[in-house]
Chains A and B, each alone.
Chain A
Amino acid sequence: MPRPGFVLEVDERTPPLLVHEGEGFRMQSFPLGTRVVYPPDSLPGIRDVNAAIRHALLNPVGDAEPLPELLKPGMKLTIAVDDISIPLPPMRLPDIRQRILEQVIELAARNGVEDVKIIVATALHRRMTADEIKRMVGERVFRSFWPKDLFNFDGEDRDGLVEIGTTDQHEVVEISKRAAESDLLVYVNVNLVAMDGGHKSVAIGLAGYRSLRHHHNVETMLHSRSYMDPRPGHSAIADSATRMGRLVAANGLKIFQIETTVNADTFPANLGFLNKREWEWSAYDQGLMIAARKANDLAPPRARREFYRRIEAPYKLTGINAGEVEAVHERTLDNLHRQQLVEVRGQSDVVVFGLPYIGPYNVNSIMNPILVHCLGLGYLFNMYRNMPLVKPDGVVIMYHPVPWEFHQIHHPSYIDFFEEVLAETTDPSTIESKYEERYATDPWYTHLYRTSHAYHGVHPFYMWYWGAHGRDHAGDVIFVGGEPKSVARLGYRAAGSFRDAIEMAKDTVGPSPSITYFHAPPIMIADVV
């Protein structure tokens, strides 16, 4: 039985603790009394993954028939898969999506289905490259379907979208026409965090800007507390996706949802110490840590980035469920919480996050300052249930170098957002009302999104909104080791060291603040009670 997560209280026996900071990490000594939230140990993986997939397809949950019974000759079958924004880091091959796809396609072939399309559900993410898709779906699927029957979703293809209707909250639901007109939509999902999966898969993954703007906005994000807590009433974005998903189902689209969860084996053996608690490091782990740090310091930036880019997570499957969306998602969340939930008692004045080198939007890319903001105040800040780890008007301290650096192909609208919009204001509501529409409809960004590998023009706005709740909640945000110029552009403050950051934080939270360090990754959710 793997150990659950727990909260450590730093005492004089506590060694320096590992803190991620972009493409690197440091060993940080924390003040006595600091609370450190550790994730649970990794759950054992399912031994026979193919058998588990087969079992899930033949024994669906909720109001659903086994997949073979849904597959009929002459039918129109669409299979949608999550893109490579999850899991993080990319999974060691074979990817779980490949294994599932192969079985689904095998069943379709055996049941005489001929019209099969596979859509990578990118929503407004960048188009995945052929190599990225090939890695994800496997050579056999790729060779059989690419490019005609295996393609990226296009949220700007007016002919490829269809309006399903409007929810009782006046939200327009517009999704992929091919998916909507299929006799069966099979959605293959990877649930890395609690907001993945469920109705979000179809209602967001296969939707365009017209539909997404109803929940990807400041108002919704401010009322998603947190968006990692999809229980009804806790996350406005999850509630909105649920309304939309139910509308899609009510309109007759038959969805066979397949959801998977993975364990916490986030880093490979050569970085195994990153998965362990520091006082349990062996001499070998300590040696590895020192070697990795020295090599990281000495490596030229390109080599360093390449090293991190190549990291593959040895994730193992902890659960797979298939069938009706809500019934499946309920089980998925149980599995996910089994791996990620940690009980934490009470909030603190200061919360510390070490931001790793990767987030959902910089796979094979560069983590630019806006993505740093999103990863810290969006993702990590929201990794809670009930209430944030930090008190209202408390201080968020994050570690990241925040380089003023952008991927020219993947993030063109980010560059302009950073240079033009953030130079004027950092207030999410002002940004939304003044700039969003223009960026979202800019023909050049749209062209790049559709034909190149660029994120949609509106995507940097969503990243900014993603952190709106954290920004609104915190009294101050300080980046340790951040480049002052880019940190200032984000509207935050930079500190040279943790000690400086704490001194700066005292202006906001008083002379002796309580501190909590959220020791992630591996990913976890703090259940703050």
Chain B
Amino acid sequence: MADGFRWGRRPLVPRSAEAHTPPKEDRVFPSDWARTDAGVAVRQVLLKGAMHPLIRNELTLRVFGRDNLEGVDPPLIFYSNHSSHLDATLIMCTLPDRWQSKTAVGAARDYFFDVWWRQAFTALVYGAFPIDRSRGGRGAVDKARQLLSEGWSIVVFPEGTRSPDGHLQRFRHGASRLALETGAGLAPIAVVGAYHAMPKGRFWPRGGRPPVTIRYGRPFWPREVETHQELSRRMTRAVTELLHEETSTWWETLQRAQRDEVPSLMGPTGPGWLRRWEGSRPPARRGPDRVWD
């Protein structure tokens, strides 16, 4: 094999050739097969038999708040902050069984649906459907709506892309519009530590089993009279509160929320290096809970 040749990977177009290279053929890899009974069964085996043990082996994983999903009827739109490729895997592996078997992840079409093997892997392991980030994503909204109407829950990342510095980014309105259109509930999830464990540019978690925490929040539903901007703000606040719980306590967060004083987690204003510096600060490693002091 030729050194440096991108065998089976996304082809990169040399800059000077960009004007001479036609846009990629608009071909969508079919993903419906991954949500058939057989696809679901294979996915369950992969998630429980391979991905979850792998995650447990590579990370120090803690999960809270799954009880918030008890008694809730599907479908739900799970949404979370997004700072790492680990996020979707962590969510799919930690979802309660009832939800895991009927949840599909919205994955960026330009990244996950470009070469055949990545398409197949993404569809199989995450039951994924493509989200087009470049053209308003109309097709993706239609697909998501169809899935919700069929009783499937979906996982989306309203930030649209992984955070370059670990801080929360502004939420786009796609998920809130979808919730308003379909009436589906929204379940916030906070993923803490994934940025430190495997930031953008890494393809395997750091060594040393870095700590990662998943916090599931209480689902909520769009109100009858609510704009998508208002709903997006509510969604942001819900995730922010969950993230804040990690550095304070549930009780403290509740009190601050009551006073509308939950600090923004959008990161410090200032130069890019400062945001990255703060964002890459490793989360506190907690020891095992002590029975006595």
Residues of A within 8 A of B (CB): 3-4, 6-11, 13-16, 27, 29, 38, 277, 279-281, 283, 286, 290
Q: B284 within 8 Å of A by Cβ?
A: no
Residues of B within 8 A of A (CB): 1-8, 11-17, 19-22, 115-116
Whole-angstrom distance between the alpha carbons of A156 and B20 in the complex? 51
**Chain B min CB distance to A70 (Å):** 46
Known A13-B13, A15-B12, A290-B1; further 16 A-B contacts with Cβ < 8 A: A6-B19, A8-B17, A13-B14, A15-B2, A15-B11, A16-B3, A16-B5, A27-B2, A277-B21, A279-B17, A280-B11, A281-B11, A283-B115, A286-B5, A286-B7, A286-B8
Q: List 16 A-B contacts (CB under 8 A).
A: A3-B22, A7-B16, A8-B16, A13-B12, A13-B13, A15-B12, A29-B3, A29-B4, A277-B17, A277-B21, A279-B11, A279-B17, A280-B11, A280-B21, A286-B7, A290-B1
Contact A283 B3 (CB under 8 A): no
- Residue numbers in B under 8 Å from A283 (CB-CB): 8, 115-116
Interface Cβ pair total, 8 Å cutoff: 57
- Residue numbers in B under 8 Å from A10 (CB-CB): 14
Contact of A11 among B2, B14, B19 (CB under 8 A): B14
Which A residue sits closest to B116, measured CB to CB? A283
Which B residue sits closest to A15, measured CB to CB? B5
Whole-angstrom distance between the alpha carbons of A7 and B13 in the complex? 14
Whole-angstrom distance between the alpha carbons of A29 and B3 in the complex? 8
- Residue numbers in B under 8 Å from A280 (CB-CB): 11, 21
Contact of A13 among B1, B2, B15 (CB under 8 A): B15
Contact of A27 among B5, B11, B17, B22 (CB under 8 A): B5
Q: Which of B4, B11, B14, B116 has the most CB of A within 10 A?
A: B14
- Residue numbers in A under 8 Å from B17 (CB-CB): 6, 8, 277, 279
- Residue numbers in A under 8 Å from B2 (CB-CB): 15-16, 27
Q: Which 4 A-B pairs have the closest CB atoms?
A: A27-B2, A13-B12, A9-B16, A14-B14
**Chain A min CB distance to B4 (Å):** 6
Whole-angstrom distance between the alpha carbons of A368 and B16 in the complex? 38
- Residue numbers in B under 8 Å from A4 (CB-CB): 20
Whole-angstrom distance between the alpha carbons of A8 and B20 in the complex? 9
**Chain A min CB distance to B172 (Å):** 29
Contact A9 B8 (CB under 8 A): no
**Chain B min CB distance to A426 (Å):** 35
**Chain B min CB distance to A20 (Å):** 15
**Chain A min CB distance to B216 (Å):** 39
- Residue numbers in A under 8 Å from B6 (CB-CB): 15
Whole-angstrom distance between the alpha carbons of A519 and B219 in the complex? 60
Which B residue sits closest to A294, measured CB to CB? B1
**Chain B min CB distance to A331 (Å):** 28
**Chain B min CB distance to A119 (Å):** 44
Whole-angstrom distance between the alpha carbons of A8 and B16 in the complex? 5
Asked whether A9 and B13 contact (CB < 8 A) given A29-B4, A279-B21, A290-B1, the answer is: no
- Residue numbers in A under 8 Å from B11 (CB-CB): 15, 279-281
